Structure 1
Amino acid sequence: MTALGLLHPGHFAEDDYPRIEQLLGSDIRVDLVHTDTGTGAREQDALREMGSDTRLAAGVEQLRLAGAEAVVWACADGSFVYGWDGAHEQVRALARAAGMPASSTSFAFVHAARELGVRRVAVGATYPPDVAGLFAEFLRAGGLEVTGVHGSGAVTAAEAATWGEKELLALARGADHPEAQAILLPDTALHTAAHLPALEKHLGKPVLTAHQVTAWEALRLADRRVNAPALGTLFTREPLVQA
């Protein structure tokens, strides 16, 4: 049994993870601990507070007791808002507190893109423009080219959590660009686990979403590979040999 530990902000779209766990197979367990989101505002200062070392460390003891082999801060905006170097410091502090390998959803997007061998990505963002811009800067710092950032106008996580396949497809289509090799949807408040095959079929290219890459990143840290076509191209590709 491989146990994956996730720290998830609040209670939006967390029901994606039991679905992902089922699709990954019976020998993988996803343990979820909810963190305090503070005000929950999608503003830079509030996001930095949400991702503070103190808030994240509060949840790691429960994951240790559950036997987690790796921990991922299952949040994008509460990570990339610190910038590339600051996000590295965040996961290093998390690893020290947890006593196990650690990462975050932000780094998961970069690692997943590298896994697929893509360099040019389009972003479909539900964040305010300034926050979405920080994600694009983070991706560029990770060596990716961002063809553009398409905003949705969703202001709150609660609003994003109500979206279904129709809204997701509109977001992905709005973000798509002829030069983009993959489309990234970074919000962990979006329900995406049930819609990945349909999104990739309609777009004709890999679609990377927050919950999907978070689970993949946890497996990567635990040195596990799983073939799960229902979770998109990322879970069907053989690993690439990095130069």
Structure 2
Amino acid sequence: MTDMLRTRRLGLLLPSSNSTQEPEFSDVLPRDVSLHTARLTLNSIDAESTVRIVEELETESRKLADADVGVILLAATAPTSRKGLGYDKELLGRIQDATGKPAATASTAMLEAFAVLNIQRVALAAPWSESVNQTVASFIQANGVQVVSQRAMGVVRNNDVGRLSPDTAFALACEADRSEADAVFLACGNWWAMSRVEALERKLGKPVLTTNQVSIWAALRLLGQSTPLSGWGSLLSGMAEKG
């Protein structure tokens, strides 16, 4: 009977090869929020694939709207930043126009989190290629936040990203961090990173953000969340104060 307590519904659009977001979201979401997913075709994290993935955006968004979700979230950083300044909001608008539902994207959520936490300089770490990382860095800088350091592991096949240990996120965050960085951002929604956020914040002494963490935060705000979520870093534990 506890399932009847799930009174809020989150619709998640994720890459078809993503194996991380559903379990990671389920670990974090409050008990009254149910998760409903649809998939957009993507197997490799490359320039062509991150553009082509949104060809199915309206079709899959409408399927989520059929479940009467309260918000539709496209939680993929590379695809939502691929074409530069304003592209995230363009995609957000396409979801809203197709469904009439509130929407969020990972890149929009990232920028909103930067603003709420007053982050002006960030260190960027990701499992994908240096070229994809540079595209994301350029998007961040076009939106007024300086990227002071960036590191990429060079993993292109998304299934391989989903098999990386969370320890890779911890190690790369430490490598990317700089004293002048206000925060570290761990990009890629298929990277098991959230379980290492609190340990990283203790070690580095600054906020550590991930694609899934900022995406969950943004979606919950649209669902009216006002209760802090502990165990996943300062952004979620401070929701009430920063909401």
- Do the two structures share a fold, i.e. TM-score over 0.5? yes
Cα distance between partner residues in 2 of 1:153 and 1:129: 6
Question: What amino acid is the match of 1:233?
Answer: S
Cα distance between partner residues in 2 of 1:212 and 1:194: 10
Higher relative contact order (CA 8 A, sep 6+): 1
| Aligned pairs (5 A) from 1:62-77 | 62-77=63-78
Question: What amino acid is the match of 2:53?
Answer: M
Structure 2 match to 1:10? 16
**Pair 1:43 & 2:46 matched:** yes
Cα distance between partner residues in 1 of 2:66 and 2:221: 21
1:96-122 alpha-carbon deviations (Å, 9 max, x no partner): 112111121111111111122221111
Of residues 197-206 and 118-127 in structure 1, the stretch that sits farther from structure 2 once superposed is: 197-206
Q: 2:125·2:187 contact (CA, 8 Å) conserved in 1?
A: yes
Structure 1 match to 2:140? 139
**Pair 1:21 & 2:26 matched:** yes
Shift, 1:151, TM fit: 1.6
Cα distance between partner residues in 2 of 1:20 and 1:187: 14
**Pair 1:187 & 2:192 matched:** no
Cα distance between partner residues in 2 of 1:46 and 1:24: 29
Question: What amino acid is the match of 2:226?
Answer: R
Instruction: Count residues with an aligned counterpart.
Output: 236
Shift, 1:168, TM fit: 1.2
**What runs of 5+ residues in structure 2 fail to find an aligned partner?**
1-6
TM-score by length of 2: 0.89
Shift, 1:66, TM fit: 1.9
Cα distance between partner residues in 1 of 2:23 and 2:147: 31
1:139-167 alpha-carbon deviations (Å, 9 max, x no partner): 11222111111122223222221122321
Question: What amino acid is the match of 1:139?
Answer: I
Structure 1 match to 2:128? 127
Give me the identity figure in percent. Answer: 26
